[in-house]
Amino acid sequence: MKWDELLIQERLYDPDYDVQPNRPLYTQDADRIVFSAPFRRLANKTQVHPLYDNDHIHHRLIHSVETSLVGRSLGMSVGHWLEQEGHIDGKGEMTRHALAGIVNAACLAHDIGNPPFGHSGEEAIGTWFSERFDANQGLFAHAKVDHGVKAELCKFEGNAQGFRLIAKLEMYRNMGGMRLSLPVLGAFQKYPARARTSKYLGEAHYIGLKKFGVFEAEWDVFVDVSEKLGLIEGQSEHGTWFKRHPLVYLVEAADDICYEILDLEDAFISGDLEEQAVINALKPIANPNRNVSNMSPEERIAFFRARSIGKAIESCVEAFKENYELIMCGDFNSSLIKTCALDSAFSEISKIAKRQIFTARRKTELEVSGRNVIRSVLDGVSPIFEDLAANDWDEEALSSHNIQVKRALNLDFRDAKCHNTGLHCLADFVSGMTDRYAVKTSKLLRGVL
């Protein structure tokens, strides 16, 4: 892959856009993401820990902002090295600042498609669709739904929903979405494949196939973006896919650094981990350089968190340099966090998270409750889509009750023209909810005042 293609100055669906000299595309991209409704909704979506009364617990929006700052630092450091090595010339958009800006914008959007209640929300949506497709009736009749659509809804993926939002639904609907620059769209896409492909090939074949990141409906858009960026195409009997944009590894590293380290800080704040357990986990990364005995417990944890993030950034930058040739030819099949010098320390943090954070009682209660809320919403709204399908997708033919529900929930049927698009509209509705709105809607549909 070549940097002059990977950093091409072009907007999705707007190739003739005049780039303003004092306002690079990546700056505008970050603004479009931050000022969007889906980004604002992240403020009331679970990160890992339930949304406690304690204001210091992370939610998805704060996590996205912090990830963007770490990503910016990673991009600046890697960009500086690329300039020194002559891989980019340091002029125009081939600069460290461009790399930092692109990674920053992609990080801001990286969780924008996640549904309410964290990863348990994804599982709840996928399980609900699987059960309905197993029943093979009405809206979910196999003969009316494409195989690829069934595969992607039964394994619902927030990454693919994120690409759908930024490249299709938000702002210029069905005309490029936010119309972000192509490099930002490339850096956003951790899993450049459809469900039908990743389902059969998987992570063992290539790290970018661990999950899927594009729905069937947006695949043509992503292919166009990938070809213009010069991404390497993969071929298989299960469909085409692409190798990652090199900057994806920096976006992924920023996310890994933030959730691994900051989940520990949240666990301390929530009372799930003792201070010493957090310090012991972070000490091999932080390599503390001062006496912290006179600090409060909260200050000590903050100090170790800050030091750890800085050291992790340095280590991931070195891992990028060491694996540069493999990354550029599409053969790097790991993450920077797993190949950096701090890998063993981060592996220990992951073990602690699985053993003590992810199994915490309050989190488990949230997951149980969240799954039931999402199922309740889907059970309550799906009859309206069944009604639409039975009336050849004519909104005017809906029953009076369903028209009332549509009005009460502000349901958007503009793209519901067949079973495939109708089912995705249903998924759009529930995945776009905040935790609070999902609970409110569940009560409304069940007649609970």
Helix or strand or coil: residue 170? coil
pLDDT reported for residue 225: 98
Phi-psi region of 239 (alpha: psi -120 to 50; beta: other; left: phi over 0): left
Contact (CB, 8 A) for 185 and 109: no
Question: Is residue 2 pLDDT above 70, yes or no?
Answer: yes
Q: Which helix (H) or strand (E) segment is 209 a member of?
A: none
pLDDT reported for residue 93: 84
pLDDT band at 124 (very low <50, low <70, confident <90, very high): very high
pLDDT, residue 8, reads 96
In this structure, the chain runs to a length of: 449
> What is d(CA 304, CA 311) in angstroms, rounded to the nearest whole number?
10
Calculate what percentage of the chain has a pLDDT beyond 70: 97
Share the mean pLDDT of the chain: 92
Q: Which pLDDT belongs to residue 54?
A: 52
Cα 193 from Cα 148, distance rounded (Å):
12
Q: Residue 394: pLDDT above 60?
A: yes
Give the pLDDT confidence score for residue 271 in this predicted structure.
81
pLDDT in tens, 275-295: 999 999 999 999 988 888 899
Could you report the per-residue pLDDT of 219-230, keeping only the tens digit for each? 999 999 999 999
Residue 61 vs residues 39, 57, 379: alpha-carbon distances, Å: 7, 11, 28
Structure confidence at residue 56 (pLDDT) = 58
154-180 pLDDT tens trace: 999 999 999 999 999 999 999 999 999
Query: What's the confidence (pLDDT) of residue 127?
Result: 96
pLDDT tens for residues 359-390? 777 778 778 888 999 999 999 999 999 999 99
The whole-angstrom separation of Cα 272 and Cα 278 is 10
Please state, in angstroms and rounded to a whole number, the distance separating the CA atoms of residues 214 and 266: 31
For the chain, state the CA radius of gyration.
Answer: 22
Token pair in block for residue 177? 């979405």
Q: What pLDDT is stored for residue 416 in this prediction?
A: 95
49 pLDDT more than 70: no
- Residue 313, pLDDT > 60, answer yes
Contacts 24+ apart (CB under 8 A), 203-208: 206/234, 206/241, 206/243, 206/333, 207/244, 207/332, 207/333, 207/334, 207/335, 208/241, 208/242, 208/243, 208/244, 208/248
Residue 354 has pLDDT above 90, yes or no: no
Indicate if the pLDDT at residue 45 is higher than 90. Answer: no
What percentage of residues in the chain have a pLDDT greater than 90?
79
Decide: 112 and 162 in contact? Cβ < 8 Å. Answer: yes
- Residue 268: the pLDDT is 87
